[in-house]
């Protein structure tokens, strides 16, 4: 057995769990075209079955996040039972206040009390669903914002948002949490009501302990030092979850670690440093991706493996040597220690370790030869469109 992964590192990797999004398994695209794929799930039950393949071959994805109303079913107890039969659990519930005509000018920050009430009620209904599914987290991302200077009173909107969130937070059960996701623009182009981590932090801090920030790695301006935000939120005890994906331009929702593996490494170094991979860590790891042109299940398998690989490299970082170089002001040695960990190929060690735990050494190959794709392609016709690719 390779000694690259220490027993401590293996213990951390053992508990690494990455929630996968139900919408990754449906067809998605850009506003130009949605390409259909054979075997696309026709309902949330089939999405769960597909998601379960990721866990089956990697041991890394034990829960599936749902998006409401995309995954609305009559019987959530049946969906939960189906998930359990497939070997996974139902995870985070994502609300959706961005696809209804009423929300053209906003939802939880809307100036019209009727519409704001409707948006609050949607979130209360999501919490009802969480009670049935056993989900811990309610994830809120708001499209709220404006397109033109003067269109809206920015300050009033923050105050209304706080009031709305308060009403939602009050309804949460003792074991449930609210995570508020930020995004710097889109679909609003002038201002967004929760554009950055600072606004999310201010809003959730006013709610209470079980309200935390969700950091989507694709939701920052180019050049943003995301690992610094990770460090700060962990330091403040307010990092609730990650939506992992990668981006070249804006909110591209591409495979995590594909655009900038080094950035993913730097983020995971701060996660390890801030205790985000400890057994009692409050941080939930999720993917928020769409697979527009590549196969969806292998796309998700590759994604969780990328996170595992970078977590393993982050765990290799020689903290003692790094600390000594930092204390001595030895810039080049400190950077050298950091780069040594990043440049280490952990793939053979991870393959060996996987096999030692009864998992396939090569999960991509194992899925490809499992026959699952051929079966769903033959069985399923008329699969669903996942989302608008936000
Ligand atoms: C918004 O861009 C977002 O990142 C939120 O997490 C949404 O719920 C998700 O994308 C929908 O695809
Ligand atoms: Mn997201
Ligand atoms: Mn997004």
Which ligand is nearest to the Cα of residue 220, counting in written order? 3
| Residue 334 covered by a domain | yes
State which of 142, 243, 247 you would mutate to test the pocket of ligand 1, scoring each by most atoms of that ligand within 8 A of its C-beta. Answer: 243
- Retrieve residue 220's tokens: 């920052």
State which of 91, 96, 141, 213 you would mutate to test the pocket of ligand 1, scoring each by most atoms of that ligand within 8 A of its C-beta. Answer: 141
| Residue 388 covered by a domain | no
pLDDT-based confidence at residue 119 (cuts at 50, 70, 90) = very high
Residue 21 CA to ligand 2 center (angstroms) comes to 10
- Retrieve residue 212's tokens: 């935390």
Taking the C-alpha atoms of residue 279 and residue 152, their distance in angstroms, rounded to an integer, is 44
What percent of the chain stands above pLDDT 70?
99
Q: How far is CA 305 from the centre of its chain?
A: 15
Residue 321 has pLDDT above 90, yes or no: yes
Task: Yes or no: say if 53 and 297 are a contact pair by the CB < 8 Å rule.
Answer: yes
Residue 49, H or E segment: helix 44-58
What does the pLDDT average to over 327-347?
98
Counting beta carbons within 10 angstroms of the beta carbon of residue 306, is it exposed (0 to 12), middle (13 to 18) or buried (19 or more)?
A: buried
| Residue 138 covered by a domain | yes
| Residue 384 covered by a domain | no
- Retrieve residue 280's tokens: 């009692």
State which of 216, 220, 244, 254 you would mutate to test the pocket of ligand 1, scoring each by most atoms of that ligand within 8 A of its C-beta. Answer: 216
pLDDT-based confidence at residue 388 (cuts at 50, 70, 90) = low
Give the HSE-up count for residue 55: Cα atoms under 13 Å, Cβ half-sphere.
Answer: 23
Q: Can you give the length of the chain in residues?
A: 390
The domain of 12 spans 7-379
Question: How many distinct structural domains can be found in the chain?
Answer: 1
Residue nearest to atom 11 of ligand 1 (CA): 390
**Residue 139's closest CA among 12, 282, 240?**
240
Residue nearest to atom 12 of ligand 1 (CA): 390
What does the pLDDT average to over 59-64?
98
Phi/psi at 86 (nearest 5 deg)? -80, -5
**Residue 160: its pLDDT value, please?**
99
| Residue 285 covered by a domain | yes
CA atoms 102, 103, 107, 112: torsion sign: negative
Taking the C-alpha atoms of residue 21 and residue 352, their distance in angstroms, rounded to an integer, is 28
Residue 80 CA to ligand 3 center (angstroms) comes to 26
pLDDT-based confidence at residue 384 (cuts at 50, 70, 90) = confident
**Residue 387: its pLDDT value, please?**
59
- Which ligand 1 atom is at minimum distance from the Cα of 387? 12
| Residue 389 covered by a domain | no
**Residue 306's closest CA among 260, 352, 343?**
260
| Residue 242 covered by a domain | yes
**Residue 382: its pLDDT value, please?**
76
**Residue 286's closest CA among 101, 43, 24?**
24
Ion ligand 2: residues, CB < 5 A: 216, 243, 288
- Retrieve residue 107's tokens: 């939802």
- Which ligand 1 atom is at minimum distance from the Cα of 67? 8
- Which ligand 1 atom is at minimum distance from the Cα of 141? 5
Q: Which of left, alpha, beta for 146 (phi over 0: left; psi -120 to 50: alpha)?
A: beta
- Retrieve residue 160's tokens: 């209304």
- Which ligand 1 atom is at minimum distance from the Cα of 23? 12
Question: Rounded to the nearest 10 degrees, how much is the dihedral formed by the CA atoms of 331, 333, 338, 341?
Answer: 170
- Retrieve residue 307's tokens: 């996170």
What is residue 370's DSSP assignment?
Answer: S
Give the HSE-up count for residue 51: Cα atoms under 13 Å, Cβ half-sphere.
Answer: 33
**Residue 180's closest CA among 106, 96, 111, 240?**
240
Residue 385 has pLDDT above 80, yes or no: no
| CA–CA distances in Å: residue 38 to residues 86, 148, 364, 378, 384 | 21, 42, 18, 8, 11
Task: Yes or no: say if 47 and 22 are a contact pair by the CB < 8 Å rule.
Answer: yes
pLDDT tens across 155-201, in order? Answer: 999 999 999 999 999 999 999 999 999 999 999 999 999 999 999 99
| CATH number (domain holding residue 81) | 3.20.20.150
- Which ligand 1 atom is at minimum distance from the Cα of 245? 4
| Residue 272 covered by a domain | yes
Say what the ipTM of the complex is: 0.99
Residue 390 has pLDDT above 50, yes or no: no
Q: Which of left, alpha, beta for 303 (phi over 0: left; psi -120 to 50: alpha)?
A: alpha
Mean pLDDT for all residues in the chain: 97
CB atoms within 10 A of CB 332: 8
């Amino acid at each position: 057995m390779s000694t690259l992964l220490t027993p401590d590192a293996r213990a951390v990797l053992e508990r690494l769990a990455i929630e996968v999004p139900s919408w990754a398994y449906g067809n998605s695209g850009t506003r130009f075209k949605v390409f259909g794929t054979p075997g696309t799930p026709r309902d949330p039950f089939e999405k769960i079955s597909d998601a379960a393949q990721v866990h089956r071959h990697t041991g890394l994805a034990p829960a599936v996040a749902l998006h409401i109303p995309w995954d609305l079913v009559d019987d959530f107890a049946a969906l939960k039972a189906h998930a359990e039969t497939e070997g996974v659990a139902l995870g985070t519930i994502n609300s959706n206040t961005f696809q209804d005509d009423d929300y053209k000018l906003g939802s939880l920050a809307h100036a019209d009390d009727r519409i704001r009430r409707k948006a609050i009620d949607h979130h209360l209904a999501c919490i009802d669903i969480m009670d049935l599914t056993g989900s811990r987290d309610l994830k809120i991302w708001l499209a709220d914002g404006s397109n033109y200077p003067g269109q809206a009173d920015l300050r009033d909107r923050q105050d209304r948002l706080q009031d709305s969130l308060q009403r939602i937070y009050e309804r949460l059960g003792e074991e449930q949490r609210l995570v508020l996701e930020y995004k710097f623009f889109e679909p609003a182009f002038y201002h967004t009501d929760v554009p950055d981590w600072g606004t999310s932090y201010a809003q959730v801090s006013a709610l209470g302990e079980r309200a935390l920030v969700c950091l989507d790695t694709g939701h920052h301006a180019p050049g943003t030092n995301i690992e610094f935000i990770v460090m700060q939120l962990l330091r403040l005890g307010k990092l609730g979850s990650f939506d992992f994906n990668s981006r070249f331009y804006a909110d591209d929702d591409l495979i995590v670690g594909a655009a900038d593996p080094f950035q993913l490494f730097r983020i995971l170094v701060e996660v390890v440093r801030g205790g985000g991979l400890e057994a009692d860590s409050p941080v939930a790891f999720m993917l928020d991706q769409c697979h527009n042109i590549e196969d969806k299940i292998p796309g998700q398998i590759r994604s969780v493996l990328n996170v595992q690989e970078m977590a393993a490299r982050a765990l290799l970082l020689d903290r003692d040597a790094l600390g000594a170089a930092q204390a001595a002001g030895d810039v080049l040695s400190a950077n050298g220690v950091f780069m040594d960990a990043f440049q280490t190929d952990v793939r053979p060690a991870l393959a060996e370790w996987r096999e030692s735990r009864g998992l396939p050494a090569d999960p991509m190959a194992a899925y490809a030869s499992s026959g699952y794709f051929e079966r769903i392609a033959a069985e399923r016709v008329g699969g669903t469109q996942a989302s608008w690719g936000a």
